[in-house]
């Protein structure tokens, strides 16, 4: 089989349930093996060439349309939530709409650190569509713990996203064993380093994890939200929907975990967390500059 880096494939042993992109090819004990990144799921995997099936353009198109329909549904649900959240914030800031002028709103600033530049680009596009101020940084998962302190000092975000690729391997240990996960240890160490800089769970809100990540260790390290409680795969854009809910919820309000998860593409099997305060601030009056 002639497969190359960047080819899109499925795994026969899993019924081709997930589309992967080949990102590296190596030879182990005389046999070719591919390193795979999920196209829409934050999953990394290894597979022998004999288990791989090339996915043709027609099949990719069908799956892409299904995926886009799910994304659009999540976006519509969030857009409805966003409008209600903004109306509530305006009402409270104006003492029951007694003020009839214009308002301005300051959503939470996001620092998104991603181990996959392709996923990071997709996420930044969605942040822009939603209207969230964000700085995106590509960083290899293994380098994140050493980089996070300097990045926090430089960008001073309200919300931190630490994500990339991960996976659990039964052959490496029990499900509770952190060493059985591809990058969960690095994610947890990155959260710990971030908490050394900003200990408060309300001053810096952290989402951490990827597909099948060790949820408990990430929460214990200090994350507000994390993946994956039931070790399932999460969608590439799920961190953005979690962040969006927090970013557009008033700092006066605590967010129940389910309110954050219900508009994600994965839900509570893949995502979880703790009750957390919003970060949106509303002000008045709004004055346009003379140039405008």
Q: Which pLDDT tens digit goes with each residue over 163-173? A: 999 999 999 99
For the stretch 53-87, pLDDT in tens is 999 888 888 877 777 777 777 767 667 777 776 66
DSSP annotation of 170: G
What is the sign of the dihedral through the CA atoms of 220, 222, 224 and 227? negative
DSSP state of 2: -
Cβ neighbours around 284 below 10 Å, total: 14
* Count of domains forming the chain: 2
| 181 and 147 within one domain | yes
How far is residue 113's CA from residue 115's CA, in Å, rounded to a whole number?
Answer: 7
14 and 134 housed in the same domain: no
Indicate if 50 and 175 belong to the same structural domain: no
CATH at residue 203: 3.40.50.2300
Decide if 289 is inside a domain.
Answer: no
Domain assignment present for 291: no
Asked if the model's pLDDT at residue 158 lies above 70, the reply is yes
User: Is residue 192 located within the same domain as residue 123?
Assistant: yes
| Ramachandran angles phi, psi of 137, nearest 5° | -130, 125
Q: What is the residue range of 27's domain?
A: 8-55
Do 198 and 259 share a domain, yes or no? Answer: yes
| pLDDT in the model for residue 191 | 98
Q: Which contacts (CB < 8 Å, 24+ apart) does range 254-261 have?
A: 254/278, 257/225, 260/225
Radius of gyration of the chain (CA): 21
Residue 89 lies in a domain: yes
Q: Specify the higher pLDDT residue, 99 or 184.
A: 184
d(CA 242, CA 261): 7
Chain segment 3-40, per-residue pLDDT in tens: 889 899 999 999 988 889 998 999 888 888 999 988 88
Q: Does an H or E element contain 188, and which?
A: helix 184-197
Tokens of 28: 């182990």
Query: Are residue 39 and residue 136 in the same domain, yes or no?
Result: no
Task: Identify whether residues 251 and 275 lie together within a single domain.
Answer: yes
Average pLDDT, the chain: 87
According to the model, what pLDDT value does residue 135 have? 97
Q: What is the mean pLDDT of residues 215-226?
A: 97
pLDDT at 162 over 60: yes
pLDDT band for 51, please (50, 70, 90 cuts).
very high
The pLDDT of residue 139 is above 70: yes
Q: Are residues 132 and 215 in the same domain?
A: yes
């Amino acid at each position: 089989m002639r497969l190359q880096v960047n080819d899109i494939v499925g795994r026969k042993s899993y019924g081709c349930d997930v589309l992967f992109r080949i990102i590296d090819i190596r030879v182990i004990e005389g046999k070719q093996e591919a390193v795979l990144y999920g196209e829409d799921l934050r999953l990394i995997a290894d597979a022998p060439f004999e288990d791989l099936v090339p996915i043709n353009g027609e099949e990719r198109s069908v799956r892409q349309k299904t995926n886009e329909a799910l994304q659009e549904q999540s976006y519509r649900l969030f857009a409805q939530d966003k409008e209600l959240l903004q109306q509530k914030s305006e009402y409270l800031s104006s003492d029951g709409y007694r003020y009839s002028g214009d308002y301005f709103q300051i959503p939470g600033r996001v620092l998104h650190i991603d181990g996959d530049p392709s996923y990071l680009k997709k996420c930044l596009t969605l942040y822009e569509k939603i209207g969230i101020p964000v700085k995106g940084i590509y960083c290899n998962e293994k380098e994140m713990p050493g980089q996070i302190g300097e990045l926090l000092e430089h960008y001073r975000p309200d919300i931190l996203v630490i994500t990339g690729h991960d996976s659990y391997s039964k052959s490496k240990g029990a499900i509770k064993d952190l060493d059985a996960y591809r990058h969960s240890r690095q994610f947890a160490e990155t959260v710990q380093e971030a908490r050394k800089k900003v200990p408060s769970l309300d001053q810096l809100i952290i989402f951490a994890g990827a597909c099948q990540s060790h949820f408990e260790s990430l929460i214990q390290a200090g994350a507000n939200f994390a993946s994956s409680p039931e070790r399932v795969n999460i969608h590439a854009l799920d961190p953005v929907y979690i962040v969006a809910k927090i970013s557009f919820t008033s700092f006066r309000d605590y967010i129940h975990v389910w309110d954050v998860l219900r508009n994600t593409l994965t839900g509570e099997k893949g995502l979880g967390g703790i009750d957390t305060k919003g970060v949106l601030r509303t002000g008045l009056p709004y004055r346009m500059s003379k140039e405008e």
